[in-house]
Chain A
Amino acid sequence: MRKSAEVVVIGGGVNGVAIAYELAKRGCKDVLVLEKEYLASGATGRCGAGVRQQWGTEMNLRMSIDSVKLFETMNQDLEYDKDIEFKQGGYLLVAYTEAGWDQFKKNVSLQRQYGLDVKLCNPAEAREIVPHLNTEGLVGATFNQTDGHCNPFHVTDAYAKAARRLGVEISTYTEVTGIVTEKGRVIGVRTDKGDIATTTVVNAAGGHGAIIAQMAGIDIPVYPERHQILVTEPVAPIQGPMVMSFHHHLYCQQTPHGSFIMGLGDPTEKPGLSHRATWQFLEEMAQKVTWLLPPLKDIRVVRQWAGLYDMTPDRTPILGGTPELAGFHMAVGFSGHGFMLAPMTGILMAEHILGLPTSLPIEKIDLGRFARGELFHEPSVV
């Protein structure tokens, strides 16, 4: 491992490697990525692999729309030797309450302003899109065809390989234990394998983001929250789109591989770093999904697991630096949707760190927004 680097990125999830690649692509090649386990061992490798653009606030919308364009050509752009398995089977968001439906209509009018062609569906139209959907009590649904699925291990692998080709060093099984500062600026990083001199650090540590910020003496309103998920055996294709119900806190999609991936949010979950998978989740998941999508009752579950969401109070990420400490940058707080935003996170962070004009106004989602009271309050998180 090198002893000094122009930029040290902490975290080998999809965001860390995307940022490293985009920096190198812009000529900043002396970049070191530090990962305490292996690549995609954090939230990235545990996620639902969903890619959605149907958001309810400006920055999530703009970042996800631009990221989808990048997923569309990623195999070629990153010269990937495998396939990122991007499938645009759409997302069908279903509302089983009037309040939920009112929120959807607001979201759709904003989504259309940013050019997204989202369809408002009555229950019969929703059933045309997902014929096995239970429409008992369904008020309405929204559908966007260009949403979908992508393989998070492969996207991470693709960015990592492309970054390494440009000279980026990725050091796995290397844990950051401290950040060294002097007179209000970063001067180095401590790890369990030795110290590294650097004046620029990027915190991309996901659910551990607040712990890393603490090492630099900075408080950020990010906390980890366990989310559980399962996968079934692969079966013949029967469901094109992701089905997502905020009322049931549930999402469920069939992957190109044939398996179904599904998860639930638990509104009573307390902040914490636990990764434990529970029987209660399995039971509740099975009950809700066999009600919502009845034919799934015959499909076998092969694995369940859990991962961490890195939550912020407005469920919108924190990107950028802080006046408190020069050279300290962060890309954290993805609140359960950081995989789908990663392509734009990589670009925006690289532009910001190198002092280039940014492709989107990321200053709107910096850490300072909490003090300014300019929050985004994303309504559409499971």
Chain B
Amino acid sequence: MYDKDREIIICRCEDLTLADIKELINKGYRSLDELRRISRCGMGPCQGRTCRPLVQRELQSVGIPVKDQIPGIFRPPSKPITLGAIARGSEGVHHA
């Protein structure tokens, strides 16, 4: 059967569709952090910037208003940065 929710991408980094998210919410994963940990939604290079508001809207639509949602955690770094660039930022220390 055609299901348009299977074609709506919510998390581009991890390739999760609206149908995937709805299914998890129905199974009882009811906060951003719980959804993130089970599906990796929001754990990709965009740091959840795209999917977070979309997931919040889905949680709202099952009766959890955004104001009552447990806020998800933002973790550093705020933009992906290479290990080489970080290491170069503090050169001169030898670790062999």
Chain A contacts of B77 at CB under 8 A? 282, 301-304
Q: Does B57 contact A (CB under 8 A)?
A: no
B45 touches A302 (CB 8 A): yes
- 9-residue interface stretch from B3-11, B60-68, B83-91: B83-91
Docked Cα-Cα span, A136 to B84, in Å, equals: 19
Checking A137, A234, A287, A303 against B87 with a beta-carbon cut-off of 8 angstroms, the contacting residue is A287
Smallest CB–CB gap between A27 and chain B, Å?
Answer: 26
Given known contacts A282-B77, A286-B87, A291-B95, A299 and B33 CB-to-CB distance under 8 angstroms: no
Contact with A along B67-94 (1 / 0, CB 8 A): 0000000011100111110110110010
A3 interfacial by beta-carbon distance below 8 Å: no
For the complex, count residues of B whose C-beta is within 8 A of A: 25
| Neighbouring A residues of B89 by C-beta, 8 Å | 283
With contact pairs A38-B31, A153-B37, A300-B45 given, residues A290 and B83 touching in the complex (Cβ less than 8 Å): yes
Contact partners of A233 in chain B: CB under 8 A = 44-45, 80
**A277 and B76 contacting across the interface, CB-CB below 8 Å:** yes
Partner of B86, one of A40, A157, A301, A305: A301
In the complex, are the beta carbons of B84 and A290 less than 8 A apart? yes
Known contacts being A277-B76, A305-B75, is A297 close to B84, with CB within 8 Å?
yes
- Write out the residue numbers on chain B whose beta carbons fall within 8 Å of the beta carbon of A302: 43-45, 47, 77, 80
Whether A288 and B95, one on each chain, are in contact in the complex, defined by CB atoms closer than 8 angstroms, is: yes
Tell me if A380 is interfacial: C-beta within 8 Å of chain B.
no
Interface residues of A in 262-314 (CB under 8 A from B): 277, 282-283, 285-291, 296-305
CB pair B37 A45 closer than 8 Å = yes
B80 pairs with A41, CB closer than 8 A? no
Q: Are A290 and B87 in contact (CB under 8 A)?
A: yes
Instruction: Count residues of A near B (Cβ-Cβ below 8 Å).
Output: 37
> If A232-B83, A301-B83, A302-B43 touch, does A283 touch B90 (CB 8 Å cutoff)?
yes
* Closest chain B residue, CB of each to CB of A289: B83
A301 to B87, Cβ gap below 8 A?
Answer: no
List which A80-104 residues lie within 8 A (CB) of chain B.
96
Shortest Cβ distance from residue A22 to the other chain B in the assembled complex, whole angstroms? 23
Closest beta carbon of chain B to A46's beta carbon, Å: 10
Cβ contacts under 8 Å, A286 to chain B = 83-84, 86-87
Q: Is A248 an interface residue (CB 8 A)?
A: yes
- Assess the A298–B34 pair: CB atoms within 8 A: no
Smallest Cβ-Cβ distance to A259: which chain B residue = B43
CB-nearest residue of chain A relative to B80? A300
B33 touches A301 (CB 8 A): no
- Are B75's CB and A303's CB within 8 A? yes
A257 within 8 A of B: yes
Contact A297 B83 (CB under 8 A): yes
Cβ–Cβ < 8 Å partners of A303 in chain B:
43, 47, 75-77
Report the 6 A-B pairs with minimum CB-CB distance, sorted nearest first: A297-B84, A286-B86, A300-B80, A286-B87, A303-B75, A286-B83
- Residues on B facing A (Cβ under 8 Å): 31, 33-34, 37-38, 40, 43-45, 47, 75-77, 80-84, 86-87, 89-90, 93, 95-96
Provide 16 A-B residue pairs closer than 8 Å at the C-beta atoms, listed in order of the A residue.
Answer: A38-B31, A38-B34, A96-B96, A153-B37, A157-B38, A286-B86, A297-B83, A297-B87, A298-B82, A299-B83, A300-B45, A300-B80, A300-B81, A302-B77, A304-B77, A305-B75
User: Which residues of A line the B interface, CB within 8 A?
Assistant: 38-41, 45, 96, 136-137, 153-154, 157, 231-234, 248, 257, 277, 282-283, 285-291, 296-305
